[in-house]
Structure 1
Amino acid sequence: MLRRGAVSVRVAPASVLLGTVAWLLACAVALYGVTVGDYPMPLADVVATLSGDGTLITYDIVVRNRLPRALVAMGVGAALGLSGTVFQRLARNPLVSPDVIGINAGASAGAVVVIVVGAGAAAVVGGALTGAAAAAALVYAVAHRGGFSGYRLVLVGIGVSAFMNAAASYLLTRSDRNEAFRAAVWLVGSVAGRSWPDVLAVAAGLVVGAPVVLLLARQLQLLELGDELARGLGGRVGLARPALLAAAVVLAALATAAAGPIAFVALVAPQIVRRVLDARSPGLLPASGVGACVVVAADLAARRLVSPYELPVGVLTAAVGAPVLLYLLVRAHRAGTAG
């Protein structure tokens, strides 16, 4: 237990170890990704460029192109891993994640509105935040009636997601051809061509959301036990749940604003952590590291599988994540039948 003033944080050695390994692996994959491409570069040249000793060509390749892409991939994965963990723990349901319950769809719809009117990158961030907040408020308002239920949250979220996706599709049919193409490319989910403003967008989400989630980790554990038991153990249900939900929405929204809707990372990363660690451990640091590792590895695979062509990373994560979702659905059905 680490304590400073009124703030205390429980540290689980296994969680710290898994998180450290996951983050080191993510950094290693990202660094390797910076060295490969149409213009391969030895690691020594990458390090020299980052230290200011490279050429104009290597500076353009590393600093302006590949490094922002790698950082966005890591940041998006970390943000989605944390967001998915919060939603799954609060709902006590492994099927709950921001892309399943409509948060990412709301962010996408808000961003599409901004894109089709021709606004800049900063406005896309604002649109994504607004859309995600609207979707989250709608899902929470409908699903919270009669108590907070994970399965009701999933069902309501699927409906909200369908509505938001339909709204985005309608906007594409009514927009200018060029803007519709730009929005359609963004909706696939990709970290290709990302720049430093995109890095700042996802970094802002982590700076705002991650500290809230980490500071409320114990409250998250208590809320997972149910509202009545959480209150009996000193949990601040009325304050902690809205704060955690808001932080998770911000993380998912800014990740979506930076890279588009990258599916299933928020669903898969917490499940990987939960199968390695004790189920009682929140696993926040490992979830962020595993999420970062999943996205950077998927992006590297998307770049190299059909080289010289590139697949959008969202296509690859969806192809891998869909079977995981089906597995979780089958498992939940069997558990319900057995019960």
Structure 2
Amino acid sequence: MPVNPGGAWVREQRRGPRRRRAWITGALAALVAGLLAVNILLGSYTVTIPDFLGMLGGETIPGASFIVMENKLPQAVLGLLAGASFGVAGAIFQSMLRNPLASPDIIGISYGASATAVAAIVLFGVGGTGVSVAAMAGALAVALLITWLARGRGGTGLILIGIGAAAFMQAAVTFLLSRADISNAQDILVWLTGSLNSADWNKVAILAVALAVLLPFAGLGARDLRGLALGEDTAAGLGFNVPRARLLLTVLGVLLAALPTAAAGPISFVAFLSGPIAKRLNAGAPSLPLAALVGAAIVLAGNFAAVNAIPGTSLPVGVVTGALGAPFLLWLLISSNRTNQGG
């Protein structure tokens, strides 16, 4: 049979990126698993692996069972789920609008959830699940508002309007804080920076079920997302239904940002950081699975640092992620302006 060296070279060129992506995915998955174990087993209260496995099997160890099974484990699992959800949401908006500034925590969606949650607590005395429902409603309302205001202005217009909406929501939260009762301070704190300290199995179950429903749709929408990442005109020329794809991806991205916000508050900059890091690891191509793993790793690492940074004090995880994200935002704004790509 004739030898076709050209065809073999093409096949090898195609396999190379796939192998690299598989290695990176495996390494990130191992990192996330390691950070999950670190959050559960180490810290101010340590537990051995045999004891942990025994507790998973139903064994009761006085003191340790409550700390691990009702505190550390739900915190770690909620951090894993919330980080993955934020990461996918950020990657969807950044790829769809072709701008790294277009993440839910920059364009006001997360702040919309915070403002409505704080309003529900301060003005109406709502608690528990009602606050989470209010947060989701606020995120959806802000997303609809900025989309309507930015119609016909393109992605840059939406980002600018979203940044304005975020500033307005922050001002609203500040005003509500001045009217708040001191007894609500702990509840309100979660909606300012995001925290896993109030994690419980109910929140974990709700978020897990929601992600089990939404993430398959994200996988189905990945092809449309790759098309939109080329630009709307190019995507339309390739046969994509651009209006329908934008609508479905916007709804999906808002839900994936609102759900973890309702469970853990607006954990700062996770959605903003995950997409660009995953893109850099994937040789410049957007990847929703890698963004999910990067988001989970950021939240888990940030939570371990927040809980153990100051002995005797458990900081909100959003304080750590905010400290990581703020310098990256400044660098991105400077570098974008230099290349005339700033939003």
Alignment match, 1:23:
29
- Answering whether residue 318 of structure 2 is matched by residue 314 of structure 1, we say yes
Q: Do the aligned partners of 2:43 and 2:304 also contact (CA within 8 Å) in 1?
A: no
Q: Do the aligned partners of 1:15 and 1:283 also contact (CA within 8 Å) in 2?
A: no
Q: CA deviation at 1:292?
A: 0.2
State the alpha-carbon separation in 2 of the partners of residues 21 and 123 from structure 1: 39
Alignment CA distance shift 1:291-1:66 (3 Å): same
- Answering whether residue 140 of structure 2 is matched by residue 136 of structure 1, we say no
* Structural mapping, 1:36-51, within 5 Å: 36-51=42-57
Amino acid of the residue matched to residue 129 of structure 1? M
Structure with greater Cα Rg: 2
Alignment CA distance shift 1:102-1:63 (3 Å): same
- Answering whether residue 115 of structure 2 is matched by residue 109 of structure 1, we say yes
Alignment match, 1:300:
304
Q: Do the aligned partners of 1:20 and 1:289 also contact (CA within 8 Å) in 2?
A: no
Q: Is the partner of 2:340 in helix, strand or coil?
A: helix
* Structural mapping, 1:177-188, within 5 Å: 177-188=182-193
Q: CA deviation at 1:186?
A: 3.6
More displaced stretch, 16-25 vs 61-70: 16-25
State the alpha-carbon separation in 1 of the partners of residues 102 and 117 from structure 2: 22
State the alpha-carbon separation in 2 of the partners of residues 50 and 115 from structure 1: 36
Alignment match, 2:291:
287
- Answering whether residue 334 of structure 2 is matched by residue 327 of structure 1, we say no
Q: CA deviation at 1:214?
A: 1.0
Alignment match, 1:4:
none
Task: Report the number of matched residues.
Answer: 325
Give the fraction of aligned pairs with identical amino acids, expressed as a percent.
40
Q: Is the partner of 1:216 in helix, strand or coil?
A: helix
Amino acid of the residue matched to residue 288 of structure 2? L
- 2:90 is aligned, of 81, 84, 95, to 84
Q: CA deviation at 1:57?
A: 2.7
Q: CA deviation at 1:20?
A: 3.0
Alignment match, 1:8:
none
Amino acid of the residue matched to residue 83 of structure 1? A
- Answering whether residue 74 of structure 2 is matched by residue 68 of structure 1, we say yes
State the alpha-carbon separation in 2 of the partners of residues 271 and 323 from structure 1: 14
State the alpha-carbon separation in 2 of the partners of residues 229 and 313 from structure 1: 40
Q: CA deviation at 1:87?
A: 0.6
State the alpha-carbon separation in 2 of the partners of residues 289 and 51 from structure 1: 27
Q: Do the aligned partners of 2:195 and 2:264 also contact (CA within 8 Å) in 1?
A: yes
Unaligned 5+ runs, structure 2: 1-16
Q: CA deviation at 1:181?
A: 4.5
Q: CA deviation at 1:139?
A: 1.1
Amino acid of the residue matched to residue 20 of structure 1? G
TM-score (ref. length: structure 1): 0.90
Q: After the TM superposition, which segments of 4 or more aligned residues of structure 1 sit over 6 Å from their partners?
A: none
Q: CA deviation at 1:256?
A: 0.9
Alignment CA distance shift 1:119-1:56 (3 Å): farther
Alignment match, 1:7:
none
Q: CA deviation at 1:12?
A: 4.5
Alignment match, 2:8:
none
Alignment match, 1:3:
none
State the alpha-carbon separation in 2 of the partners of residues 180 and 308 from structure 1: 20
- 1:119 is aligned, of 98, 118, 126, to 126
Q: Is the partner of 1:234 in helix, strand or coil?
A: coil
State the alpha-carbon separation in 2 of the partners of residues 13 and 124 from structure 1: 45
Q: Is the partner of 2:235 in helix, strand or coil?
A: helix
Which string of whole-angstrom CA distances, capped at 9 and with x for unpartnered residues, describes residues 163-193 of structure 1? Answer: 1122222222233331245213442311113
Unaligned 5+ runs, structure 1: 1-10
Alignment match, 1:176:
181
